[in-house]
Amino acid sequence: MAKISIRNFSETDLSGYLELSQIEYGETVSSDSDHIRWKHLNSELGTSLYVNLGESQRVIGRALIQPRNLHTSLRNYKVGQVMDLLIHKAHRTSPANFINLTKACGNIEDFDLIFHTSNERSFSLYSQLFQFPNPFSLNAYGFPVRLAGIFSSFIGRRVNLIDVFTAPFRWFFLAMSYAVNSVVRLEVSENSMSDDEIETLCAKCLRNLGSHLTRSNAFLNWRFRDTPVWPAVISRVDRKGQFLGYIVTRKVLLDGRSHFVLMDFILDPGVNYYTCLSLRLWLIRKAILSRSDVFFTMANPLSNIASKCIGFPFINIPEKLLPHATPIFMRARKEDSEQLESDRSIHLTLADLDYF
């Protein structure tokens, strides 16, 4: 009979974790030992909790809960993010295994709140069977840069001549980017940010725009520089010598197309529309110059923090064009955190997911 145990993830748990991942996914990032150590053992956030479903000393199911801190106007909450939930193929016929594993993730005293997302298979189970609160979903936003890459997904091959004929489209946005920034004078660089700058920025956003998960130099360095497989570029944003925030970008190859991805961002609440527009055009310019096919990002569309970076000329991508939707499920562990189950404004980005 399968039994559940809960403990801090450790090096001795790695072999069982990797074995289950290899059976399900083969040789992918999910079965890369360095990646899993970085993600669950060496995280700046602390060691993940290991919810292990075992039978006869063998791992047949698991979920890991990564600790996070959520800052709200009321107080800070200790939250847990459920990741990497997986049950061995031979043990999925019994719904009890999935039900027991899911319930165990929500019954851990360490946290005020548990949150997680789902895929196309688990969405109906979380939303209908368990009826977990789903205050919001992340929306995808994009911008077509090289149309040959876009059309290749429909016609099955890349016709580079399309990019030749659509070159004026890219030239127009390059010119617009330079023209707008010649007035705004925005500076985006890879210069470092001080801890005080980030702390002050986050405090202003919390006071004026809403709740968000902890952001710091330590978190950004762990998430985007220390990662063995997903490095990204952290850039600070300044205007006339004033620190306005930061963005994080990286290139990702998916389905044969190159994506220039905005992974994370926070901007000062006081930035005006033209500053925001200049930054969005800068992102498109970088996507063009990096020879990417698409600009892409995801964020909570109801977040006031996100509204500073999401908008024209970015296009809202319909869910039907994505592999699956990205709902966020919130599960309060304590009475004084129940209001978070209906908080639709929490700022979440791709930095808070483990897609890439």
Least confident of 145-149, 173-177, 229-233, 349-353: 145-149
Residues 291 and 144 placed together within one structural domain of the fold: yes
Q: What is the amino acid identity at position 74?
A: L
Q: Residue 126: inside a domain, yes or no? A: no
Place of tokens 């569309």: 301
Length of the chain: 356
Q: Residue 338: inside a domain, yes or no? A: no
pLDDT at 148: 76
- Longest Cα–Cα distance of the chain, Å, equals 69
Reduced to 3 states, what is the DSSP secondary structure of residue 292?
coil
Segment 169-193 mean pLDDT: 96
Tell me the two tokens of residue 37.
Answer: 């150590």
Segment 181-208 mean pLDDT: 96
Residues 214 and 301 placed together within one structural domain of the fold: yes
Q: What is the CATH number of the domain that holds 215?
A: 3.40.630
Closest residue by Cα to residue 208 from 274, 267, 279: 267
Q: What is the amino acid identity at position 281?
A: L
> φ, ψ for residue 294 (rounded to 5)?
-145, 140
pLDDT at 1: 66
Check residues 159 and 135 and name the one with the higher pLDDT: 135
Instruction: Please provide the average confidence, as pLDDT, over all residues in the chain.
Output: 91
Query: How many CA atoms are closer than 13 Å to the CA of 86, on its beta-carbon side?
Result: 18
Kindly tell me the sign of the dihedral angle through the C-alpha atoms of 42, 246, 284, 298: positive
Kindly tell me the sign of the dihedral angle through the C-alpha atoms of 232, 178, 306, 326: negative
Segment 318-334 mean pLDDT: 89
pLDDT at 122: 85
Q: Residue 353: inside a domain, yes or no? A: no
Residues 193 and 92 placed together within one structural domain of the fold: no
Kindly tell me the sign of the dihedral angle through the C-alpha atoms of 82, 88, 89, 91: negative
Q: SS3 breakdown of the chain: % helix, strand, coil, rounded to 5?
A: 40, 30, 30
Structural domains of the chain, count: 2
Q: What angle do CA 195, 197, 201 make, to 5 degrees?
A: 120
Reduced to 3 states, what is the DSSP secondary structure of residue 294?
strand
pLDDT at 115: 94
Q: Which domain holds residue 253?
A: 139-323
Above 80 in pLDDT, residue 251? Answer: yes
Segment 253-259 mean pLDDT: 85
The 8-class DSSP code of residue 262 comes to E
Above 80 in pLDDT, residue 70? Answer: yes
Residues 227 and 144 placed together within one structural domain of the fold: yes
Query: 242-254 and 257-267: which strand pairing?
Result: antiparallel
Q: What is the CATH number of the domain that holds 17?
A: 3.40.630.30
How far is the C-alpha of 342 from the C-alpha of 136, rounded, in Å?
9
pLDDT at 265: 98
Residues 253 and 106 placed together within one structural domain of the fold: no
The pLDDT tens digits of the residues spanning 99-138 come to: 888 988 888 888 999 999 988 878 888 988 889 999 999 9
Q: Which range in 31-45, 104-118, 232-246, 248-262 is most confidently predicted, on average pLDDT?
A: 232-246
pTM for the model stands at 0.94
Q: Residue 253: inside a domain, yes or no? A: yes
Q: Residue 351: inside a domain, yes or no? A: no
Residues 296 and 216 placed together within one structural domain of the fold: yes
pLDDT level of residue 335 (50, 70, 90 thresholds): confident
How far is the C-alpha of 100 from the C-alpha of 67, rounded, in Å?
21
Above 70 in pLDDT, residue 206? Answer: yes
Above 80 in pLDDT, residue 151? Answer: no
Domain boundary among 116, 131, 155: 116
Residues 108 and 144 placed together within one structural domain of the fold: no
Residues 106 and 152 placed together within one structural domain of the fold: no
With pLDDT > 90 as the criterion, what percentage of the chain qualifies? 68
Report cis status (omega within 30 of 0) of the bond before 95.
no
Q: Residue 14: inside a domain, yes or no? A: yes
Query: How many CA atoms are closer than 13 Å to the CA of 167, on its beta-carbon side?
Result: 4
Above 90 in pLDDT, residue 29? Answer: no
pLDDT at 226: 94
Q: Residue 214: inside a domain, yes or no? A: yes
Q: Residue 337: inside a domain, yes or no? A: no
pLDDT level of residue 238 (50, 70, 90 thresholds): very high
Query: Quick one: how far is CA 272 from the chain centroid?
Result: 26
pLDDT level of residue 348 (50, 70, 90 thresholds): very high
Above 80 in pLDDT, residue 342? Answer: yes
How far is the C-alpha of 247 from the C-alpha of 232, rounded, in Å?
10
Residues 166 and 110 placed together within one structural domain of the fold: no
Above 80 in pLDDT, residue 37? Answer: yes
Closest residue by Cα to residue 356 from 249, 275, 273: 249
With pLDDT > 70 as the criterion, what percentage of the chain qualifies? 99
How far is the C-alpha of 223 from the C-alpha of 231, rounded, in Å?
8
Residues 47 and 153 placed together within one structural domain of the fold: no
Residues 210 and 163 placed together within one structural domain of the fold: yes
How far is the C-alpha of 115 from the C-alpha of 67, rounded, in Å?
10
pLDDT level of residue 339 (50, 70, 90 thresholds): very high
Residues 183 and 74 placed together within one structural domain of the fold: no
Reduced to 3 states, what is the DSSP secondary structure of residue 81?
strand
pLDDT level of residue 149 (50, 70, 90 thresholds): confident
